[in-house]
Chains A and B, each alone.
Chain A
Amino acid sequence: MASQSLAKIIANQQLNSKDYRLLISAPQIAKEAQVGQFLHLQCKEGIDPLLRRPFSIHDYDRQQGEVAILYRVLGKGTKQLLERRPGQEIDVLGPLGNGFDLTNTADKVVLVAGGIGVAPLVPLAKELIELDKEVAFLLGAANELELLCMGELEQLPLQLKVATIDGSLGHQGYVTELLEELLADSYGQVFACGPEAMLAAVQEITLKAGVEAQLSLEKRMGCGTGACLSCVCKVKVQQGSGFEYQRVCSEGPVFRADEVIFDE
């Protein structure tokens, strides 16, 4: 069950020039969190900006009652978030959304992370490893400095491959180019989170290869609770060739690659 609570900020740590890690004390959320779910945060009290901002659950410690998110500073909300200090309280809704579906997971899986999209995939990797799965982790970013969670991923028993657009580390180019090579190698399932263009590429590649994939989507959100219908994406209907709009905050944020329709 989701709840609204005032969570104490434990740490708000800078990771690189744009990205931060916020750690909060939220025992109820930590207890219930599932990988792939998100929190809806009020970055700062007041009416400017008015709306909350959604962030994926990046880490949770059920014993300590702590939850972490990773955030990239883009606009007003995230700028206010970086000014929040340990000891202050922050209004949090969560955990929200469906999370990744880990029933019938393949034995060999690939995780594809683009930029800040790495946030929900690190806990997913840990969970899959616990389930004894063989995990390949494809980590992509604009450049070496923006590659997140490298240290943590290197400690895990998984195969890590890196791509940067400027070629400052690993493969030069898109992370999805690494996926095409890997899929030939009997990987049975893909999980991806990142910019929409990357997700669309993952969709195309996995559909062509006939490999099942789950994509974590982002849309502008109002309520985060399923009431306002602002966060919808196109999903194919069961019968016929049409589509319907489903809520990223409620039916998502994770959708099957064979059901989502991306607009050009």
Chain B
Amino acid sequence: MSKVDLSVDLNGLNLHNPVLTASGTFGFAEEYADYVDLDRLGGVMVKGTTLEPKLGNATPRIAETPAGMLNAIGLQNPGVDYLIAEILPKIKDYSFKTIVNISGNEVADYKKLAAKLSSASGVAALEVNISCPNVKKGGLAFGTEPEMAAGVVEAVVESTDLPVITKLSPNVSDITEIARAVEEAGSDIISLINTLVGMKIDIETQKPILANNVGGLSGPAIRPVAVRMVYQVAQAVDIPLIGMGGIMESRDAIEFFLAGASAVAIGTANFVNPRVSMEVIQGIEDYLIKKNHSSVQDIIGVVEAN
């Protein structure tokens, strides 16, 4: 029994502690079974899932950058039917909450994904990835326009009884505008941030390193941007936030709580230190004890602007 209360209730999604792992960085959880006690995690956001299996992009798919990395995996995944039939049954007995991250090319894809996953067992919530290009709108990402973002969220909310998390893209001029739109559309929770679009060029070959030319920047390099966006969105909406972006240790996670996140997700850091999620849970507990707080809820959004 821990001395402090780490549990959080995110608008219907109850977590026994506020530390999750971010989509695309933790596989389907069992990839990390050798390194962490999976039952200690609050939740696992599994790899981005699409209606049909997806091959993914050509290689190189990653490039390292100062304090970060670019990725353009291209949503390689076995498809939602395989996920439901073969993967979810394997992880359903762990005590973490399984959150399925969904991606589509059009609104109808998201509806079908939501319906299929709602009747599957072992899914605690859906995380709607709106950073994907909308093929019907010339490939403009769903998450870059408030109306398009709201349209996807509404469609998902209508098709499921599960808590709906909307994952915001940071590649927008005003993230609070998108946040308000998805809250209004019925999103129960917001997660942020997804990766920032970036590029790296090999000066010898004079070509981009990534086969896809551009990719998403993650890791400590993006943390200050992520903290700022969580802070701004926390001021703008009333629904709970899951903060992520460059968390490497518990001190970083605590910044996100102070900025207004009710839970945090760890991404790229899993590659660097597979045990990081366990260390972050312990570090949060130690911090709360040191600061004489009885619950993690005592520190959510308490940062006072100067």
Contact = CB atoms under 8 A, between A and B. Distances in A.
Given A4-B275, A50-B268, A220-B62, A229 B56 contact: yes
Interface in A205-264: 219-220, 222-230, 232-233, 244-245, 263
A48 B34 contact: no
B275 A50 contact: no
B61 A229 contact: yes
Contacts of B62: 220, 222, 228, 230
Interface in B9-58: 24-27, 31-32, 34-35, 47, 55-56, 58
B60 interface: yes
Given A223-B31, A223-B270, A225-B274, A232 B25 contact: no
Interface string B253-268: 0000000000000001
Nearest to B219: A50
Contact of A233 (B24, B47, B55, B59): B59
B272 interface: yes
B35 A4 contact: yes
B71 interface: yes
Contact of A225 (B24, B31, B47, B60): B31
Given A42-B272, A222-B271, A50 B67 contact: yes
Give the interface SS of chain B, mostly helix, strand, loop or mixed: loop
Give the interface SS of chain A, mostly helix, strand, loop or mixed: loop
A157 B270 CA distance: 44
B56 A245 contact: yes
Contacts of A3: 34-35
A49 B221 CA distance: 12
Contacts of A227: 25-27, 31-32, 270-271
A233 B59 CA distance: 8
Contacts of A49: 64
Nearest to A224: B271
Given A50-B64, A50-B268, A244-B55, A222 B275 contact: no
A223 B59 CA distance: 16
Contact of B71 (A1, A228, A244, A263): A228
A71 B68 CA distance: 24
B138 interface: no
Interface of A: 1-4, 42, 47-52, 91, 93, 219-220, 222-230, 232-233, 244-245, 263
- In the A-B complex, the 7 residue pairs with the smallest Cβ-Cβ separation, listed nearest first, are A227-B27, A230-B62, A227-B31, A223-B271, A226-B31, A47-B67, A230-B61
